[in-house]
Amino acid sequence: MSPELLALFWDSFLETLAMVGTAGLVGALVGIPLGVALHVTDEQGILPHPWLSRTLGIVINAVRSTPFIILLVAVIPLTRVLAGSSIGTAAAIVPLTIAAAPFIARLVETALREVDRGLVEAAQAMGATNLQIVTKILLPEALPGIVAAFTVTLVSLVGYSAMAGAIGGGGLGDLGIRYGYQRFLPEVMLLVVLVLIAFVQIVQSAGDRLVRKLSHR
């Protein structure tokens, strides 16, 4: 492989990292509160609010069931406002984040549902406020589940980011398509796939290790 190609490879790797990392983090910042909201407003939750809970659920399902490639194009007007342009790596981060947040929200909701209701009851008996129940009981108890959810999200984002090439987002997936497929350089394709596999493995096992460390069940 030529040095130019290697440099290109490195740049693409950094682009993937930037897209996955940023979308993951911002997605978590939005998705975790959303997941908490879903959980507490549920009929069985500490702040039942069926109407709000149902509306949130519908919006989240709608985003999650939209194929990513369509989402990518559909949010272009918003992307232009947020990223200042509708093409490039920064532009790709906007739809990736929009896809990641509801994904995380659902997984967080599931993790919170695993927290024994008895713990909430015990906290209420101690005179805890609803905010304290969220911050001192629900989130700490669900933390291993939330970390696992975040890991799964990062892995999924690696796959989604490959489609970012469609709007000039770059990244390894894009490189693989442009060089490996369109310019018939199978070794580039192979390298892209191998690097992505390694990346996913590293993310997953780091996540698993953290979950094990956090979990005292």
Partner 1 sequence: MGSPTAGLAARTDARHTMIELTHVSQHYVDNQGALTHAVRDVSLQIASGEIFGIIGRSGAGKSTLVRSLNLLHRPSSGTVHVAGRELTALSPDALREARHEIGMIFQHFNLLSSRTVYGNVALPLELAGQSRTQIREAVEPLLELVGLAAQRDRYPSQLSGGQKQRVGIARALASRPKVLLSDEATSALDPETTRAILDLLRKINRELGLTIVLITHQMQVVKQICDRVAVMDAGRVIELGSVLDVFRTPQHDVTRALIGDVIAHELPSGILERLRKQELGAARLLRLAFTGDEVDRPLLSEAVRRFDLDFSILHGQVDEVQGQPFGSLTILTRASPATIAEASAFLAEHGVSTEDLTAQLLPAPSGSSSGASAPHLTLLRGDAVPLATEALNRVA
Footprint of partner 1 (CB under 8 A): 116, 118-119, 121-129, 132, 136-137, 140-141, 143, 214-217
CB 82 within 8 A of CB 23: no
C-beta closer to partner 1: residue 110 or 132? 132
Give min distance, CB of 119 to partner 1, in A.
5
C-beta closer to partner 1: residue 98 or 133? 133
CB 82 within 8 A of CB 66: no
C-beta closer to partner 1: residue 77 or 118? 118
Give min distance, CB of 142 to partner 1, in A.
9
Give min distance, CB of 140 to partner 1, in A.
5
C-beta closer to partner 1: residue 98 or 142? 142
Integer Cα distance of 157 and 104 in angstroms: 11
Phi and psi torsions of 184, nearest 5°? 50, 50
Considering only CA atoms, which of 20, 167, 164, 97 is closest in space to residue 176? 164
Give min distance, CB of 5 to partner 1, in A.
48
Integer Cα distance of 175 and 24 in angstroms: 21
Reading phi first (left if > 0) and then psi (alpha if -120 to 50, else beta), residue 171 is in left
